[in-house]
């Protein structure tokens, strides 16, 4: 039997449909949308939009062997935006009554003081993809069906090693419904699943304690969390923890860095992705503001931001301004080709929006944001790449990336990797920071392997303008000929 | 909070009990936020909102869940509560999950924390625009010829909170917060731009820094980084500027947290009453400071707040342990999280300290990095100013520092006299010796 879990006011016939939800459940029809948009543009402005959202999310936690914590949340509201050039008026309400929504529209309209701007007579729905098809409605799965997944991971982690002392498993899932209606005549709706399962383990060996973990997720169907995934996640979490007992910190300083494939793509996200978000360039505060059309990397380097990869965390059928998700090339054969646009920057640059207008929720206005950012593979094998390095490091797991847009300086934390000595992986390393400069790093990518893989997690968030959106990234194994590696050792000594 | 909301809270508790919750706690909140951002001497963003919500904690025979909902209409809440309780029953039993003994709620301080600015209600739209505009104007003036862009956002918020449990806890609070987020970008060499970025907050508008003070800090930060580059890896004394101490201290605090202690993922496990840093290091948690950004009279468990010396002259004296983890650890609870954190300031200014040091780095910004709460290892990207006997030598960037907390805090050699006022963590600049700063 399926027991609805905080399923709010969903009626069964509408659960899997992408369209018609807000009208059926909350009476939000085109007439009221038109009235709200007219109010938002009552004092003028270039355009206005409405962003309706209803999200139901749940988090379950297993700690000390028991699934003993549950946290549920409901988000419901509409954000109303009025735009004049690069100026934005924004109001939102959690109450979907006409009176409350009109009040939010009047707040948005307070930005300008001119005569009313008319809105388009007809709304049309853009053709959008289906990058996260669902066979089941996640919110409808009872806790009892998620428990075996979490308990299975707990049991498996303990089974894998006698050194494991603690296991924590977190299962998060959400179903987000959105509807965007714009004064330029777009009406788009979507149903966005989001979920992840994370395992953290703590191990004790010879009096030393180490912790680690891994997670898998994205826009997934519940059927994805099967026995195979339980096994894979448990193995990753345990292996990534146990290897730390052997790990040391490398000598600090400048050295060649080989980035392993997959999650290390966070480097692209920080080194180039943020700098290519068009709002920073429109304001001329990005280091890339003056580089369009210029050579920024070797000819084998092509970097893409892609919202259309099935089930990845950064994929979007439609962005939060009503523009369909698409694939946008940032660097093509070493040449910087274009920025990531929302509607405001697209108008400024007189180009089409690229489907990068994203926001955390109805409480926030959209900005240009990345989706899934990756570099195309090269021809070499991963071993060929490693063989190029006499003395450097190999990075296999990273987190906590951050960038200063103007300088282009970025940083990310290497939780795991290896030293490379004479072209071979040797001692494991852990807990170091790497710093670099975006344009310099791009110039310094001298080799790429043929093993592009994407990060298949669901807990990766990118922060900007005090809001977070889900993203993913990918990279083939590649060689950066020089970066600054942190560490406690100075030329091999101990500080 | 108005009586209607208090009555609603009572109704929620009563409805939860009727539906089978043995114990429950309900929190109702209301926020009003206004943000005004200026750029190019005109409003770039005007945002206004009112939010509200319920957070309901449910305990049934050791089964626990917490559910949130912004919809406070009784007609939908009834169904929400009933479903939340039904689903709590599916969880596994945990013998440590129950509300605190009511005796722990007793003894709340009657001190007036002054966290509500009475002038808030009179703050007009024009004043909000002036606040943001004045900061941007001051930044333009200080930005000089190299200025590319500056923006200033002024925000204000009023929060009302009412909490009630079915085992006699009742608490309410109302507070204001004013904030500014300001950035200033100037042209550096080639395509490179240098940025200054600042966040400031205060409880009261009359404590809010002047526009000129804010502009002075962001423009100084931007100009100090002009021409920055990495230098060779070197072991040096470093001064971590007051605003940047937070990132380092967070790593220490996460290891003092009850959950990490109980899960054994803390390098401070079994270190209570032991030396963990130089005797210059004292850390005080004081939730009862008038106008403090972290001030509160009760914590998330409902326990009365009081001043605690967490680290006393280098000796770890206390942990942050909430009710639930105190049951699992079989100890008395303290409090679950930090409030206002204070490192008592020293005697001298950063400038004066720099004059007495030979070659060193003043760290004015940190970027990325992480701190491992299990092992105490940390590593952060840094930028700042290389100096020699107080004189600037070279702005530095693209560099890292890394160490282990248990060694690092023993390298503390002096504390500046400049606690940062515009945050709940009022931390002064700290001086450390023999730190490997990695670069070229």
Does B42 contact A at CB distance below 8 Å?
A: yes
Would the pLDDT of B282 be above 70? yes
* Interface subset of A 84-103, CB within 8 angstroms of B: 86-94
Q: Which of A327-331, A408-412, B214-218, B267-271 has the lowest mean pLDDT?
A: A408-412
Q: Which of A14-23, B101-110, B319-328 has the lowest mean pLDDT?
A: A14-23
B424 shares a domain with B279: yes
Q: Determine the CATH number of domain A12-244.
A: 3.30.2290.10
Instruction: Tell me how many degrees the CA angle A133-A137-A143 measures, rounded to the nearest 5.
Output: 135
Cα–Cα distance for residue pair B53/B70, rounded to 1 Å: 4
Give SS3 for A300. coil
Half-sphere exposure (Cβ direction) of A21: Cα atoms closer than 13 Å: 26
B406 domain residue, yes or no: yes
| Chain A interface mutation, best of B221, B367, B396, B434, highest count of A Cβ atoms under 10 Å | B367
Domain end position, chosen among B224, B241, B259: B224
Supply the range of the domain harboring residue B79. Answer: 3-31+49-105
- Smallest CA–CA distance, residue A286 to chain B, in Å, is 7
Instruction: Concatenate the DSSP letters of all residues of A353-393 into one string.
Output: --S-EE-SSTTS--EE---EEEE---SB-HHHHHHT-SEEE
Q: Is residue B126 classed exposed, middle or buried when 0-12, 13-18 and 19+ CB atoms within 10 A define those classes? A: exposed
DSSP code at position B368: E
Label residue B225 left, alpha or beta by phi (over 0 means left) and psi (-120 to 50 means alpha): alpha
B101 shares a domain with B127: no
DSSP code at position A12: G
User: For residue A80, what are the contacts with CB-CB under 8 A and spacing of at least 6?
Assistant: A36, A40, A48, A49, A50, A51, A90, A91, A92, A101, A104, A105, A107, A108
- Smallest CA–CA distance, residue B103 to chain A, in Å, is 25
B233 shares a domain with B220: no
| Chain B interface mutation, best of A68, A84, A359, highest count of B Cβ atoms under 10 Å | A68
**Chain A, nearest residue to B125 by Cα:** A110
Instruction: Concatenate the DSSP letters of all residues of B78-91 into one string.
Output: HHHHHHHHHHHTTS
Q: Provide φ and ψ at B137, rounded to 5°.
A: -60, -45
User: For residue A26, what are the contacts with CB-CB under 8 A and spacing of at least 6?
Assistant: A52, A96
Average pLDDT along chain B: 95
**Chain A, nearest residue to B39 by Cα:** A87
B158 shares a domain with B100: no
Q: Measured in whole angstroms, how far is the alpha carbon of residue B279 from the centre of its chain?
A: 25
| Chain A interface mutation, best of B49, B322, B404, highest count of A Cβ atoms under 10 Å | B49
Identify whether the C-beta of residue B280 lies closer than 8 Å to the C-beta of residue A218: no
Instruction: Tell me how many degrees the CA angle B326-B332-B336 measures, rounded to the nearest 5.
Output: 55
Provide the CATH number for the domain around residue B60.
Answer: 3.30.2290.10
Give Dmax (Cα) for chain B: 72
Give whole-number Cα distances, A424 to A195, A260, A382, A450, B147, in Å.
37, 14, 11, 19, 48
Give whole-number Cα distances, A328 to A27, A272, A341, A377, A430, in Å.
36, 13, 10, 17, 34
B415 shares a domain with B287: yes
The string over A396-414, giving b where at least 16 C-beta atoms fall within 10 Å of a residue's C-beta and e elsewhere, is bbbebbbbbbbbbbbbbbb
Would the pLDDT of B4 be above 90? no
**Chain B, nearest residue to A142 by Cα:** B87
B139 shares a domain with B100: no
**Chain A, nearest residue to B190 by Cα:** A287
Cα–Cα distance for residue pair A143/A270, rounded to 1 Å: 37
State the pairing for strand pair B425-426/B341-342.
parallel
Q: Which long-range contacts (CB under 8 A, 24 or more apart) does B344-349 make?
A: B344/B282, B344/B284, B344/B415, B345/B415, B345/B416, B345/B417, B345/B418, B345/B419, B345/B428, B346/B280, B346/B414, B346/B415, B346/B416, B346/B417, B346/B428, B347/B417, B348/B414, B348/B416, B348/B417, B349/B416, B349/B417, B349/B418
Which pLDDT score is estimated for A489? 59
B135 shares a domain with B101: no
Domain end position, chosen among B224, B243, B270: B224
- Structurally, chain B folds into a number of domains equal to 3
B198 domain residue, yes or no: yes
Domain end position, chosen among B159, B190, B224: B224
B275 shares a domain with B303: yes
Stated as kind and residue range, the H or E segment containing A91 is strand A87-93
Q: Which of A480-489, B203-212, B277-286 has the lowest mean pLDDT?
A: A480-489
Give SS3 for A234. helix
If one counts every other C-beta atom within 10 angstroms of the C-beta of residue B413, the result is 15
B170 shares a domain with B318: no
Does B61 contact A at CB distance below 8 Å?
A: no
B280 shares a domain with B258: yes
High-pLDDT (> 90) share of chain B, %: 93
Which pLDDT score is estimated for A2? 31
Contact A63 B397 (CB under 8 A): no
- Binned at pLDDT 50, 70 and 90, residue B199 comes out as very high
B422 shares a domain with B293: yes
> CB-CB: which of B86, B88, B192 is closest to A407?
B192
Which pLDDT score is estimated for B1? 67
Does B189 contact A at CB distance below 8 Å?
A: no
Contact A411 B381 (CB under 8 A): yes
B300 shares a domain with B342: yes
B44 domain residue, yes or no: no
> CB-CB: which of B149, B195, B402 is closest to A488?
B402
Which pLDDT score is estimated for A492? 35
- Going by C-alpha positions, the residue among A442, A451, A331, A443 that lies closest to residue A380 is A451
> CB-CB: which of B87, B398, B403 is closest to A6?
B87
- Going by C-alpha positions, the residue among A213, A374, A277, A490 that lies closest to residue B374 is A213
State the pairing for strand pair A461-464/A467-470.
antiparallel
Give SS3 for A106. helix
> CB-CB: which of A6, A92, A252 is closest to B233?
A252
Does B440 contact A at CB distance below 8 Å?
A: yes
Cα–Cα distance for residue pair A275/A297, rounded to 1 Å: 15
* Average of per-residue pLDDT across B3-21: 94
Token pair belonging to A372: 């899934």
Does B64 contact A at CB distance below 8 Å?
A: yes
* Interface subset of B 258-287, CB within 8 angstroms of A: 263-265
> CB-CB: which of A288, A400, A484 is closest to B400?
A484
Which pLDDT score is estimated for A14? 53
Token pair belonging to A154: 């707990």
* Interface subset of B 373-392, CB within 8 angstroms of A: 373-375, 377-381, 383
Site of tokens 């052997």: A246
Give SS3 for B419. coil
- Smallest CA–CA distance, residue B109 to chain A, in Å, is 31
Which pLDDT score is estimated for A144? 81
| A489 contact residues in B (CB cutoff 8 A) | 436
High-pLDDT (> 70) share of chain B, %: 100
| A408 contact residues in B (CB cutoff 8 A) | 191-192
Which pLDDT score is estimated for A6? 39
Cα–Cα distance for residue pair A40/A35, rounded to 1 Å: 9
Cα–Cα distance for residue pair A232/A218, rounded to 1 Å: 16
pLDDT < 70 positions in chain A: 1-16, 139-140, 487-495
Q: Provide φ and ψ at B388, rounded to 5°.
A: -140, 115
| B195 contact residues in A (CB cutoff 8 A) | 285, 404-407
Which pLDDT score is estimated for A8? 41
* Extents of the domains making up chain A: 12-244, 251-490
DSSP code at position A277: B
User: For residue A351, what are the contacts with CB-CB under 8 A and spacing of at least 6?
Assistant: A338, A341
How does pLDDT run across A274-323, given as a tens digit for each residue? 999 999 999 999 999 989 999 999 999 999 999 999 999 999 999 999 99
How does pLDDT run across A201-222, given as a tens digit for each residue? 999 999 999 999 999 999 999 9
| Chain A interface mutation, best of B91, B225, B361, B403, highest count of A Cβ atoms under 10 Å | B91
Cα–Cα distance for residue pair B196/B185, rounded to 1 Å: 6
| A147 contact residues in B (CB cutoff 8 A) | 90, 92
Write down the ipTM of this complex. Answer: 0.92
Residues forming a β-bridge with A174: A57, A194
Q: Measured in whole angstroms, how far is the alpha carbon of residue A19 from the centre of its chain?
A: 25
Cα–Cα distance for residue pair B405/B380, rounded to 1 Å: 13
- Smallest CA–CA distance, residue B112 to chain A, in Å, is 32
- Smallest CA–CA distance, residue A288 to chain B, in Å, is 7
> CB-CB: which of B225, B264, B434 is closest to A209?
B264
Does A155 contact B at CB distance below 8 Å?
A: no
B110 domain residue, yes or no: no
Would the pLDDT of B355 be above 60? yes
Label residue A311 left, alpha or beta by phi (over 0 means left) and psi (-120 to 50 means alpha): left
**Chain B, nearest residue to A210 by Cα:** B374
* Interface subset of A 379-398, CB within 8 angstroms of B: none
Contact B436 A407 (CB under 8 A): no
Instruction: Concatenate the DSSP letters of all residues of B219-276 into one string.
Output: HHHHHHTTT-B----EEEEEEE-GGGHHHHHHHHHHTTBHHHHHTT--TTTT-TTSB-
B219 domain residue, yes or no: yes
């Amino acid at each position: 039997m399926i027991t609805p879990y905080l399923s709010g006011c969903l009626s069964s016939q509408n659960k899997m449909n992408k369209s018609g939800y807000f009208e059926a459940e909350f009476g939000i029809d085109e007439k009221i949308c038109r009235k709200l948009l007219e109010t938002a543009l009552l004092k003028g402005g270039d355009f206005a939009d409405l962003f309706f959202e209803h999200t139901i999310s749940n988090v379950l936690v297993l700690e000390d062997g028991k699934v003993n914590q549950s946290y549920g949340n409901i988000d419901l509201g509409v954000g109303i935006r009025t735009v004049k050039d690069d100026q934005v008026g924004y109001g939102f309400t959690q109450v979907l009554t006409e009176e409350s929504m009109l009040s939010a529209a009047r707040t948005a309209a307070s930005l300008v003081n001119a005569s009313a701007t008319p809105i388009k007579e007809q709304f049309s729905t853009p053709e959008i993809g289906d990058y996260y098809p669902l066979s089941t409605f996640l919110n409808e799965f009872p806790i009892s069906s998620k428990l075996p997944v979490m308990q299975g991971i707990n049991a498996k982690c303990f089974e894998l090693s006698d050194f494991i002392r603690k296991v924590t498993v977190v299962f998060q899932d959400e179903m987000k419904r959105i509807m965007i209606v714009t004064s330029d005549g777009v009406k788009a709706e979507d149903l966005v699943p989001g979920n992840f399962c994370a395992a953290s383990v703590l191990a004790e060996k010879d009096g030393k304690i180490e912790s680690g973990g891994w997670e898998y997720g994205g826009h997934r169907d519940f059927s994805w969390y099967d026995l195979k995934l339980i096994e894979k996640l448990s193995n990753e979490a345990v292996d990534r923890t146990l290897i730390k007992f052997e790990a040391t910190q490398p000598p600090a300083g400048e050295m060649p860095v080989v980035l392993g494939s997959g999650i290390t793509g966070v480097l692209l996200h920080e080194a180039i992705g943020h700098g290519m978000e068009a709002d920073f360039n429109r304001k001329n505060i990005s280091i890339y503001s003056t580089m369009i059309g210029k050579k920024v990397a070797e000819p084998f380097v092509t970097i893409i931001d892609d919202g259309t990869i099935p089930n990845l965390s950064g994929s979007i059928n439609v962005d939060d301004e009503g523009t369909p998700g698409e694939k946008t090339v940032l660097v093509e054969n070493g040449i910087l080709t274009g920025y990531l646009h929302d509607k405001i920057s697209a108008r400024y640059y007189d180009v089409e929006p690229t489907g990068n207008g994203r926001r955390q929720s109805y409480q926030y206005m959209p900005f240009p944001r990345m989706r899934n950012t990756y570099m195309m593979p090269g021809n070499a094998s991963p071993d060929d790449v490693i063989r190029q390095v006499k003395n450097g490091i190999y990075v296999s797991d990273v987190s906590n990336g951050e960038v200063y847009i103007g300088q282009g300086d970025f940083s990310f934390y290497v939780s795991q990797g290896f030293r490379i000595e004479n072209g071979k992986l040797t001692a494991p390393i852990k807990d170091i920071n790497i710093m670099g400069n975006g344009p310099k790093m791009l110039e310094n990518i001298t080799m790429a392997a043929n093993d592009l893989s994407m990060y298949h997690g669901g807990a990766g968030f990118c922060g900007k303008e005090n809001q977070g959106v889900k993203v993913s990234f990918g990279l083939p194994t590649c060689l950066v000929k020089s970066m600054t590696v942190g560490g406690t050792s100075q030329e091999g000594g101990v500080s | 909070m108005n009586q209607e909301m208090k009555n609603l809270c009572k109704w929620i508790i009563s409805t939860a009990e009727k539906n089978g919750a043995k114990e429950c706690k309900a929190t109702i909140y209301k926020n009003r936020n206004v943000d005004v951002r200026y750029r190019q001497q005109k409003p770039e963003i005007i945002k206004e909102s009112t939010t509200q919500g319920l957070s309901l904690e449910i305990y049934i025979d050791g089964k626990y869940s917490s559910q949130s909902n912004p919809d406070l209409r009784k007609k939908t809440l009834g169904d929400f509560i009933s479903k939340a309780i039904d689903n709590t029953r599916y969880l596994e039993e945990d013998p440590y999950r129950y509300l605190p003994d009511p005796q722990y709620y007793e003894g709340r301080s009657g001190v007036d924390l002054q966290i509500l600015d009475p002038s808030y209600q009179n703050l007009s739209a024009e004043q909000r625009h002036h606040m943001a505009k004045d900061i941007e104007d001051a930044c333009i003036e200080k930005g000089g010829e190299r200025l590319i862009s500056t923006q200033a956002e002024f925000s204000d918020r009023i929060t009302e909170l009412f909490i009630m449990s079915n085992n006699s806890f009742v608490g309410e609070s109302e507070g204001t917060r004013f904030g500014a987020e300001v950035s200033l970008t100037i042209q550096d060499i080639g395509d490179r731009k240098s940025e200054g970025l600042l966040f400031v907050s205060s409880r009261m508008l009359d404590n809010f820094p002047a526009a000129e003070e804010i502009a002075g800090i962001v423009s100084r930060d931007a100009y100090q980084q002009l021409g920055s580059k990495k230098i060779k890896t070197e072991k040096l004394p470093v001064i971590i500027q007051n605003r940047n101490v937070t990132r380092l201290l967070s790593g220490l605090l996460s290891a003092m947290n009850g959950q990490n202690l109980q899960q054994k993922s803390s390098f401070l496990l079994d270190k209570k009453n032991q030396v963990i840093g130089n005797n210059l290091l004292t850390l005080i948690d004081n939730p009862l400071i008038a106008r403090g950004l972290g001030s509160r009279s009760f914590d998330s468990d409902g326990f009365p707040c009081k001043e605690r010396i967490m680290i006393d002259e280098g000796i770890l004296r206390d942990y942050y342990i909430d009710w639930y983890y105190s049951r699992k650890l079989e100890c008395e609870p303290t409090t679950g999280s930090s409030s206002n954190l204070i490192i008592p300031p020293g005697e001298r200014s950063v400038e004066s300290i720099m004059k007495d040091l030979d070659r060193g780095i003043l760290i004015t910004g940190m970027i990325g990095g992480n701190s491992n709460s299990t092992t105490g290892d940390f590593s952060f990207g840094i930028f700042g100013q290389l100096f020699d006997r107080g004189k600037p030598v070279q702005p530095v960037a693209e560099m890292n520092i890394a160490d282990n907390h248990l060694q690092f805090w023993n390298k503390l050699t002096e504390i500046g006299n400049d606690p940062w006022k515009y945050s709940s963590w009022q931390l002064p600049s700290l001086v450390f010796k023999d730190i490997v700063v990695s670069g070229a």
